[in-house]
Structure 1
Amino acid sequence: MANQLLRLDRRGLVLLYIFLGTLQESGARQIQYLVPEETDKGFFVGNISKDLGLEPWELAERRVRIVSRGKTPLFALNPRSGSLVTAGRIDREELCETVSSCILKMEILVEDTLKIYGVEVEIMDINDNAPSFREEEVEIKVSEHATPGSRFPLPNARDPDVGINSLQGYQLNSNSYFSLQVRGRTDGAKNPELVLEGSLDREKEAAHLLFLTALDGGDPVRQGTVPIRVVVLDINDHIPKFTQSVYRVSVPENLSPGTRVLVVNATDPDEGINGEVVYSFRDMESRASEIFQLDSQTGEVLLQGPLDFEKYRFYEMEIQGQDGGGLSTTAKMLITVVDVNDNVPEITITSSTNSVLENSPPGTVIALLNVQDQDSGENGQVSCFIPNNLPFNLEKTYEYYYKLMTNRVLDREHIQSYNITLTATDQGSPPLSTKTHISLNVADDNDNAPTFAHSSYSAYILENNARGASFFSVTALDWDSEENARVTYSLVEDTVQGAPLSSYISINSDTGVLYALHSFDYEQFRDLQLQVMAHDSGDPPLSSNVSLSLFVLDQNDNTPEILYPALPTDGSTGVELAPRSAEPGYLVTKVVAVDRDSGQNAWLSYRLLKASEPGLFTVGLHTGEQAPPNTDWRFSQAQRPGTSGSQNGDETGTWPNNQFDTEMLQAMILASASEAADGSSTLGGGAGTMGLSARYGPQFTLQHVPDYRQNVYIPGSNATLTNAAGKRDGKAPASGNGNKKKSGKKEKK
């Protein structure tokens, strides 16, 4: 036995090398191997890495594997040697029964390129089975009046091997009455028959014991023997005869158990028990005995088990009709099973991914799947499809393999996941279909930059703010996910008054809250322009900028400063002189003060805190003059200071409340003050107008308005405006700062 296996192995390897050489020259994608049955686990089948054009180490790196369809694997890949080996003991008879050519098909998947290679392995038969008979003993009844040449069927032997190792012939032991003849069947099988060579004499010999031996063609030859007992009967000169020598019928595979398939009939002209025919299956295979049942009296063939076209498509049986005298005849019954569309298509996901990156190019492979139907003909023709409204295509590749691919770029921000329904439908009538689902997540790609809610921002902060105080926050949104959507904030570097921006302002990188690192002074610093950058944490990161205008708001943090009259530096008391003849309303002096704040925080009012004779002198509330002006100085409703047509103030001539109007008026006063300080202007509208008459009309002169010029501090100078309109008493103003000193007592009116 071992020598026979060795010879088969060597012969198979020679054939394999010749075949592979031819295969490589032709460029075919189908790989074929030969391997004898009954080999041990790990038996070398073929060098699969070489036949695939790969190195052995590439099998693992490129994830080369055998595609499994749920059955017990018969072969395995050896990644070290790059060879295909057996995964266990292989019994050809178990796999292929009596089929002469036992070819096993499989697919090899190169997963990194999703390429499929078909592999066929032919299992070579070895003579591991001896011919055998199902019967332990056979009894044949022969009439003593049987004529020489009469034939009697003998049992057939079975040998599951094929070719030369299968059943080759029969032998009968030597005797004086019977010989052996073998007749061929339509399917190639051989039926042994016992032939009567001479007349029988029951009274001389009532029974004959023979031995039928079946032999195969193996080396060494295997054989099986069954005893044949021939009983000589008394005369029964008619043999039953079937109405047909061959009964043929085609039945659909979906017949229910108990259904009558056909009826056989045999007649015998003898009378009595010799003419009564009993029916039975003869030489019936085990698989057929589980499916069919024969009524011995009526000849009805009934279905007792389910038919399955995909498992067995054809049955050939012999029916024997035997009369009461022991004479028998046979007929053949051929049953063809017709396919019915009773199998739904099967979808097998061979390889798939559950996530794909958005913006992946069209044609990205999502899954590799196999679609099959066990039916035949149109019932087994399967088409596979997916809904049309999805951004995917199904492309048929090798035989019944399909690739599921993208047909356009995916956008996670539009759709984050897909539930893809795969439908396989056969062409039967009615068609059968099956569905399966593939869940696919769209992975995020950093394709969205952070976006601010506004194109620009304005923020306000009071001067003298505390260092480190928050004053504003910005927020940017990123439509990506996870790290690609995590936004970090920063300031675009810049310089402010020669110092880096980061010394004035900081921002919380996580929250976008802005903090003041510097205590601002409105009188020195009124606004700041900066840019905030928001960038995500993607790779590479994306960013966007937004401009922010920070305005410093004034606080009343400066006390007024009295410029005139100034306190003497020599310790004396400042004295202002007034003529004894001065009438009420006489302008004795003017207090000049300034405030560094702006707007309403810079408008000043004056009052006397202490006077030796309180009723003798008064000070103008807003002008700073120790006598009040005439009552006709007040404006009419249309002449009040402020913007054209404004109606600020009240009838007493108080300062405007509107900050815009007051700042405009202050700006005009300062401009006129600057012109007066450098002596280059006549104050715009002529003497006493402060340049205002051009705006408010020729009637708007300083004789109708308090002299604000003497309240104005000129930046960069210690000068103040003088009463350019002259004293109301028509006299020239005093020289110097208006402080008159005398050595005697104060002059009285």
Structure 2
Amino acid sequence: MPTQNTAPGTVVYEVVATDPDDPTQPSGQLHYYIQQSDDLTPAFTIERRTGVLRTRGALDRERRAEYALVVVAEDAGRPPLRATALLRLAVADLDDHKPHFARNLDDPPVVMLVQEEVPIGTEIGRLRAIDEDIEENAAIDYAIISGNELGAVRAERTTSNEARLVAAARLDREQLDRLLITLKCFKHGTTPTLTDAYNRLDPSHIQVLIKVEDLDDNIPEFVGGNVTVGVRLNVAPHTAVVTLRAADADPGAAPLRYLLAAASFQSPIQEKSLSNVSDVFSLDNVTGELKIVRNLIHYADGIFRLRVLACNSDEADRCGQVWVEVTVVRERELLRLEGAGWSRRRLGDLQAALDAVLAPRALRLQLHLHDAAAHTHLGPCFQLRSVETGSAQTARAMLATLRALDADVRRVLEQYSVRNVTRCGPAPAPPRAAHTALLALAAALPLAALLTAVTLCCMHDAAKKSSRKALVGVAPSRLYSEPLYSS
């Protein structure tokens, strides 16, 4: 068995073949060679006369652990006779690698969580280092070199070469809420040189942040519950729709990550409804900002329903969830509340008051606020939607609903200094003279065509009558036959 990293020319094996012919004759004289293989650079050579097999260059077991050679022994007779033998050579491992952790230089510490007051000896977590050697040369041991001055944890080596971190003392969160330790890996059975600080340039070091937490009896909750927002049909891509916020009531909880778990689209035309439209939105998993990333021209008058999760653990059932309803509206189908001094809080109070008035009719108010609406007389645009189906009313239907609730709606609007309810879209521009002339010409064309047709019919009829009168006034023709005269 050859050993890796041996010098070129090292004897690996000696092939011996026998021939019953007379060794003094050509038919009894043997020579050896390696049958050609697909290897472009053979790793071994064989001496032609002696059959001694040698390495051509250094062997690396990590690149190739086994070689299969076909050795041929051939005599010099005419014709020559030959025999073959298959040699399988396994490269013996040499302990030429150091254990190390698979991390980058600037990787953050590995985070482990442990509940307070766990029994001593409770496993907190495991880590594994890497050694490219095999068998006993790959045995790895571990030691905590810093951050464990109180002896709260200890590192144990497992038979599978893992570092098992266990609680070595009572963990009281009020006294110790987190622990940042440095773990070093080294060859098992050796005595390493231990330092008292973490060195990010040393791959045998890794930092572990152990967080002592209360019993996790709360899941993240979104502030304000389910959200309903509206966007205009012509909104620009990469426009922010809403920023979702969630909180975890447990002290010391891990940072929250926001995930878009599902997104569907309900169209007024059933055939255009889609079950997966997650590519229309992007969600920042840190800030919770929801943006539109595609043009909405193909989603007019529809409703997006998004399921968003807030997670701070890998357990799916420990994630908070909220439903976000995004409606795509045409501006001409919205009404506007004209007033001054709008604020988010004031708008929320106004919406709650109007929802209370609309509740008997199973309707709810949906606001669409311009960025500048909070600082000018341009108040928020709004739409009335059905509580059960989410379908939106047209502008005309909304005006009829507000008139039917005139007294109650007027009281709320006066309370919040709303001066008027108008159309949200821009007023149509007055027609220009050229436009008016063009429309008049378009209206006159059918009448002119009709008069022309009647005139042509009358002229045609008069021509036919004139032709008939000419035929009636002509004398009848006379016929003559021979002979004209008789004798």
Asked if TM exceeds 0.5, the reply is no
* Structure having the larger proportion of residues in helix: 2
Shorter-chain TM-score: what band?
A: 0.3 to 0.5
Which structure ranks higher in relative contact order (CA pairs < 8 Å, sequence separation ≥ 6)? 2
**What TM-score do you get using the length of structure 1 for normalisation?**
0.24
**What TM-score do you get using the length of structure 2 for normalisation?**
0.36
